[in-house]
Chains A and B, each alone.
Chain A
């Protein structure tokens, strides 16, 4: 498997087929682990970093965690490949731009990605479409078991799995659910989401995690507490409380729009679709914004000839590095906006 094989299609998590996928884009889980007997990343020499990267890489590839595993050496990868991986949510922005020996292993149709030498020696990630928290936990727990049988993880009786930053210590787990909440935004009720999350001590972030803004009405809800609760308890908080509540709010807001503000809703949806089908120059922000409205229109049956999968793929493929990979050349400014507009027109006017 090559990196360029990834560009033409979307990963499993963007299929738009998981449970509640009209609102829940993806369920993501990650475990932070460090090797015992080695310093944490900020205190490692160049050579120690290389040794750890090599050791983990060999272990992952020998463990056959997936039917096919692609390992990308990020220290030596070109910028465009690193950015492509960020756009696909397979690595963090920080991992793309930092320095020194580091990498990522990708497997099982991109549901698995293991970052090596990010903030911790290992950041194991599982990413699945729709609301699949239990499935994600089962998968990631299994991967952790396999790696643990071959590597000595730093663990403390009192503090659990030891991480470079104490905000991750204990379970080292971060659960993130990505939600698409256009109706709550339109009806001005998005504050409800922030309140619900705050009550449960969960963080609300934008599309690309920490430090990013909510664009295209996408919100990531994730846990902040990692110590003093079991993994099952942390996942349970999401499954039982927060996520069903927010899904309810969004469903209710969508119903209100359909029943009471039909014309206003259709206006939003069809204006967005009209622009996407006719524009000649379009930025990635505008694309996100318009696709968000069309996506809601598809779910509510206002737009019938386009499916969720097509929309989900457009979200991904219209980003700068994906466009460049697909077109086989790097584009800037108006050339890029023109290429993006043309790509969208082709995809949306086929049917």
Chain B
């Protein structure tokens, strides 16, 4: 089928109802864009589509109006465009906005439970103990789910002693 306006093959097919009358239009990409104001982009790279999809579903956030990271200059809007963060502090700065995005990308996970550097990081916080606690808590919820109450009780005691009676 040829385009209604020019001789190129028609790839856009429009059906409009105007005053109870059905109007069919067959257009090529260019004429659709020019005459109907329909931007049709047929060759969007798949990674761009995916990025757009993920970012579109991450929801609007107040961060978008607020300023960029003071240390690296990365704004939330910029991250949404490139998919890349600019420095380690961005994770702290955008923690609230990143969390739901990470959940979607990582099967609902919100916390790291894997390997931990044994040394103190730049922040000076002893990380090993904190993450071990997170790991124990996760195991506890699994034990409860599996109705393994004996194990759950043991884990609860472990958490209590590891946390120094704070939990």
Bound Cα distance A38, B122 (Å): 11
B99-145 residues with Cβ-Cβ distance < 8 A to A are 101-102, 105-119, 121-122, 125, 127, 130-131, 135
Q: Is there contact, CB below 8 Å, between A166 and B85?
A: yes
Of chain B, the residue at the smallest CB distance from A164 is: B84
Asked whether, in the complex, the Cβ of A227 is within 8 Å of the Cβ of B87, the reply is: no
A154 to B72, CA, bound (A): 15
**Chain B binding surface SS class:** loop
A231 contacts B115, CB within 8 Å?
A: yes
Known contacts A38-B87, A171-B112, A228-B107; 8 further A-B pairs (Cβ under 8 A): A40-B86, A152-B119, A158-B111, A159-B98, A167-B105, A170-B114, A211-B47, A229-B114
Report whether B106 and A148 are in contact in the complex, using a CB–CB cutoff of 8 Å: no
Pull 17 A–B residue pairs with CB atoms less than 8 Å apart, ordered by A.
A40-B85, A43-B72, A43-B87, A148-B117, A153-B121, A154-B122, A156-B92, A159-B91, A162-B85, A162-B88, A162-B91, A165-B85, A170-B106, A225-B109, A227-B102, A227-B109, A229-B114
Convert B50-80 into 0s and 1s, putting 1 for each residue whose CB lies closer than 8 angstroms to a CB of A: 0000000000000000000001111000000
B47, B86, B130 — which one has the most chain A CB atoms within 10 A of its CB? B86
B112 CB, min distance to chain A CBs, angstroms: 3
Give the interface SS of chain A, mostly helix, strand, loop or mixed: loop
Number of CB contacts from chain A to chain B under 8 A: 126
A39 lies within 8 A of B72 (CB):
yes
Q: Determine the chain B residues whose CB is within 8 A of the CB of A230 once the complex forms.
A: 113-115, 135
Residues on A with beta carbons closer than 8 Å to the beta carbon of B114? 160, 170-171, 173, 229-231
**For residues 201 through 229 of chain A, which have their beta carbon under 8 Å from a beta carbon of chain B?**
201, 211, 224-229
* Known contacts A158-B111, A164-B85; A225 and B119 CB within 8 A of each other: no
| A51 touches B (CB below 8 Å) | no
| A157 B125 Cβ-Cβ under 8 A | yes
Q: Which 6 A-B pairs have the closest CB atoms?
A: A228-B109, A160-B112, A43-B86, A154-B88, A227-B106, A171-B114
Interface size on B, residues (CB 8 A): 40
* Chain B residues engaging chain A, CB cutoff 8 angstroms: 47, 71-74, 82-88, 91-92, 95, 98, 101-102, 105-119, 121-122, 125, 127, 130-131, 135
Contacting residues, chain B, for A149 (C-beta < 8 A): 119
CA distance A201 to B116 in the complex (A): 24
Question: Does B86 contact A39, Cβ atoms closer than 8 Å?
Answer: yes
B contact residues around A225 at 8 Å (CB): 105-107, 109
Distance in angstroms between the alpha carbons of A225 and B107 in the assembled complex:
7
CB of B101 to closest CB in A, whole Å: 7
A-side contacts of B92, CB under 8 Å: 156
A171: chain B residues at CB < 8 Å are 112, 114-115
Q: How far is the CB of B93 from chain A (nearest CB, A)?
A: 11
B102 to chain A, nearest CB (A): 6
The listed residue (B88, B107, B110) touching A36 by CB distance below 8 A is B88
